[in-house]
Structure 1
Amino acid sequence: MMLSKNKLSILCFIISLGTYAQKKNTNTKPYPYGNPVIKHMYTADASPHVMPDGRVWMVTSVDHEDGGGYATMHSYHTFSSKDMVNWTDHGEVLNIYDVIGKNEEPKGEDWALWAPDMVYYEGKYYLYFPVRILYKEGGYDEKNRKTTAYIAVAVSDSPDKKFKVINSKIEGTNGIDPAVFIDDDGQKYLYYGSHMAAKLKDNMTELDGKPVKLDVDDERFMEAIWMNKKAGKYYLSYHTHYDKPIDPKNPDDLFRKKSRLDYGISDNPLGPFEYKGIMNYELGVNVNEGPKYPGKNYVPWRLYQSNHGGIVEYHGEEYLFYHTSALSSWRQDEFKEAGTWTQRSVCIDKIVYDESGQIRPVQQTLSSVAPVIVNQPYEIILDTKSNIIKNNIIEFKNIDLGTGYYYAGLNIKGIKTPTKCAIHLDKADGELIGTFVIKKDGKTETLLRNANGKHTIYLVFDKNFSTNTTITSAKIFAGSPK
């Protein structure tokens, strides 16, 4: 059978990828650019959140130092930063054998830990992760292989300590790439799989009702769901279906489906979502700085397809976390070839919105982002003695929230039945920035969104509020990194 020149070129490229996959990471020279941000190991699938210490934390998948593909992804690491540039590796927080419960995989099964998410709620850190099992009797061919996948959850008192599995399979889940979203009204949501979402119970370990299939106005929706909220709108981003491989002679082929991050917008966290366009082009697109693939005008990692996004807002800017194989290309042969597509590394670049609220496609860079410098107190203590509760409302005037505060805390007593306390800006029915879910006397906390600038803050209790209830202390915190 005769192959066309184009098909022969692609076949040779596939064979060459296999060769690249066997290369060792022998180059020990310091990586010369800002992106990727983690340079001493391979990291992927970053999930970024601002935590109560005021730092940005991310949990990542780990690609194996010796390659071997997605089946060798067996652990998670956490990292933190106070400026988005300098990152501390806090080490491994969960391993595949913590999940299996013994130091070997069941016979005939190939287990892996793929893209995770980590969130904070009421004094605990919750790690959501997909368990993906391939049954070897079906082989590794995409058409014939037999697999199963579901979402599990682990917990820790600190994001830099080992996590303990507390629900080895969340009943009702089937799929990969979990992402957890806590809305301003206190409701928690779990997104996963290709199109699935469900409410989470306050225990953070079980679904609250049946999952729903999301109505997303895009037939190319594939995986890697992420939920972000801005100006009252819900932004659902995801990795698209794509054609492979990339022809090295024509990487921007107009007729090939691209491995992008696209997004849709809705007025409801469960949709329907209206398709809005591209958030992140294929890896290496429009990266005009830096090294070039031999004989070409694009960077070496332009030839690989893998896109997974996480978004965080930090002191007035939003950032996209994604991954490339740039570090692999450097560590193998100083950018002479493409690297290994399953040895990925986390990159960070800015997200920019236009005047209509749509996201402009992210400009991928080698320099990454500028350092964030925060100059404000870590916490603001609210005066609960001079300000008293009237008609279920307490008011705090002229509070300077600076460039952003991310959590609020109450110490309360006299709770007879579970109640909620909404946090509004400027009016008792003004912009909602967070909600305390108060189950009993004592300390309670909530995530804040869009808490910046100078405002009067209103705490508004619901109808279950008791007149015998008193607030012994209140604070706004995580306004600068510890």
Structure 2
Amino acid sequence: MNKYNLLRISTSRNKRTFLSAVLVISCVISATSCFAQVKPDTNAVGNPFVRDIYTADPSAHVWKDGRLYVYPSHDIAPARGCDLMDQYHVYSTDDMVHWKDHGEILRASQVEWGRPEGGFMWAPDCAYKNGTYYFYFPHPSGTAWNNTWKIGVATSKNPASGFKSQGYIKGLESMIDPCVFIDDDGQAYFYYGGGGTCKGGKLKDNMIEIDGEMRKMEGLEDFHEATWIHKRNGIYYLSYSDNHDVNGKHNQMRYATSNSPLGPWTYKGIYMDPTDSYTNHGSIVQFKGQWYAFYHNSSLSNQDWLRSICVDKLYYNADGTIQKVVPTGAIKSK
């Protein structure tokens, strides 16, 4: 029953007072359910490893200082779909246990070409080349957000501060989820996708222009979004989230391999089952000799659009295939 129907029940003072109290209590309970669970737990280690704000879509990289950095998107409470995502933070670690929040690095109001209403700062990525960090993010340029997506670029000399918008990559279609992979020879590759299509191509040395044409990545099975590229033992791996539905839970994480960064790709299988979230979005990175899979779930909020980033160890079989990642939860420290 909404508040207008409630007010029609009676005009008596006592009933109005009672109903007002009920509304106040309901608001308090609702706010508590949104925020109480996300307070930092200093007596716990494990997943999710960020607990003071809601985060999703983790993009993980190891930079020249030896630390591992994670660039996630940011869900904003109370939950209202994905349109409120409006800003980015950066987190880093040197031991996979203690995480530092470097604070906010960019928000929609700082994007000069973006939609005036803000919001819609979805899954980002970051790359480093020739002394500069390049932060890539999807954002619409118009009120009609679904067909005005652009891939913005912000740059900095530091991995977790000082980023300034440098416009967007020209000539791209309206798609999301940028991923930038730099090969051993220094050539940078750009990938993005959505709506069942994944495309990739070369970047020019300036890291903000496409070199040649983007082309569809062939050989992927049930691609949805969340392209990620990593390389191991000379083999390129393209991982992504799919459209699969298992008992009402979506987005398994799949992968394919190739001898070339632009394919064609050979589909290999599922490396992660659905979490408790409607979505998933991951990255794979090696840190201090161990491979890790980053992803998100909804374990702090139990709401699909208030997500939290997690990480677990990832292992390969002798033939280079990926073993299923087993998500772990928080472990109380003594």
Bin of the TM-score, shorter chain as denominator length: 0.7 to 0.9
Deviations 1:425-482 (A, max 9, x none): xxxxxxxxxxxxxxxxxxxxxxxxxxxxxxxxxxxxxxxxxxxxxxxxxxxxxxxxxx
What is the Cα deviation at residue 133 of structure 1? 5.7
Aligned equivalent of 2:161: 161
Counterpart check, 1:67 vs 2:79? yes
Structure 2 counterparts to residues 393-412 of structure 1, below 5 A: none
5+ long unaligned stretches in structure 2: 1-28
Among 129, 133, 148, the alignment partner of 1:125 is: 133
Among 310, 313, 327, the alignment partner of 2:286 is: 313
Contact 1:93–1:161 at 8 Å: present in 2 too? Answer: yes
Aligned alpha-carbon RMSD (Å): 2.4
Among 303, 312, 316, the alignment partner of 1:340 is: 303
Deviations 1:334-361 (A, max 9, x none): xxxxx11111111000111011110011
Contact 1:93–1:163 at 8 Å: present in 2 too? Answer: yes
Aligned equivalent of 2:174: 174
What is the Cα deviation at residue 176 of structure 1? 0.4
Aligned letter for 1:187? Answer: Q
CA radius of gyration, larger in: 1
- CA distance in 1: counterparts of 2:142 and 2:295, whole angstroms: 26
Deviations 1:343-399 (A, max 9, x none): 11110001110111100110111148xxxxxxxxxxxxxxxxxxxxxxxxxxxxxxx
Deviations 1:62-104 (A, max 9, x none): 11032222100111111110011111000110110111469xx
What is the Cα deviation at residue 174 of structure 1? 3.1
Deviations 1:290-341 (A, max 9, x none): xxxxxxxxxxxx3x3211011110111100010011122xxxxxxxxxx111
Aligned letter for 1:207? Answer: I
Aligned equivalent of 2:95: 83
What is the Cα deviation at residue 171 of structure 1? 2.6
- CA distance in 1: counterparts of 2:155 and 2:268, whole angstroms: 35
Q: How many positions carry a matched residue from both structures?
A: 298
- CA distance in 2: counterparts of 1:323 and 1:309, whole angstroms: 7
Instruction: Identify which range, 163-172 or 40-49, moves more after superposition.
Output: 163-172
Structure 2 counterparts to residues 73-472 of structure 1, below 5 A: 73-100=85-112, 105-106=115-116, 111-132=119-140, 135=143, 146-193=146-193, 194-218=197-221, 220-243=222-245, 246-247=247-248, 258-283=250-275, 302=276, 304-328=277-301, 339-367=302-330
What is the Cα deviation at residue 241 of structure 1? 1.0
What is the Cα deviation at residue 161 of structure 1? 1.3
- CA distance in 1: counterparts of 2:228 and 2:106, whole angstroms: 22
Contact 1:58–1:79 at 8 Å: present in 2 too? Answer: yes
1:20 to 1:236, Cα distance in 2 relative to 1, 3 A: farther
1:204 to 1:29, Cα distance in 2 relative to 1, 3 A: closer
- CA distance in 1: counterparts of 2:176 and 2:30, whole angstroms: 27
Aligned letter for 1:24? Answer: C
SS in 2 for 1:71: coil
SS in 1 for 2:138: strand
- CA distance in 2: counterparts of 1:350 and 1:43, whole angstroms: 20
1:198 to 1:78, Cα distance in 2 relative to 1, 3 A: same
1:133 to 1:69, Cα distance in 2 relative to 1, 3 A: farther
Aligned equivalent of 2:20: none
- CA distance in 2: counterparts of 1:29 and 1:228, whole angstroms: 32
Contact 1:308–1:323 at 8 Å: present in 2 too? Answer: yes
1:101 to 1:132, Cα distance in 2 relative to 1, 3 A: closer
Contact 1:78–1:90 at 8 Å: present in 2 too? Answer: yes
SS in 1 for 2:105: strand
What is the Cα deviation at residue 236 of structure 1? 0.4
Counterpart check, 1:52 vs 2:52? no
Contact 1:152–1:170 at 8 Å: present in 2 too? Answer: no
Aligned letter for 2:107? Answer: N
Aligned equivalent of 2:55: 43
What is the Cα deviation at residue 156 of structure 1? 0.7
Aligned equivalent of 2:41: 30
1:155 to 1:243, Cα distance in 2 relative to 1, 3 A: same
Aligned letter for 1:350? Answer: K
Aligned letter for 1:363? Answer: V
Aligned equivalent of 2:15: none
What is the Cα deviation at residue 39 of structure 1? 1.2
Aligned letter for 2:52? Answer: H
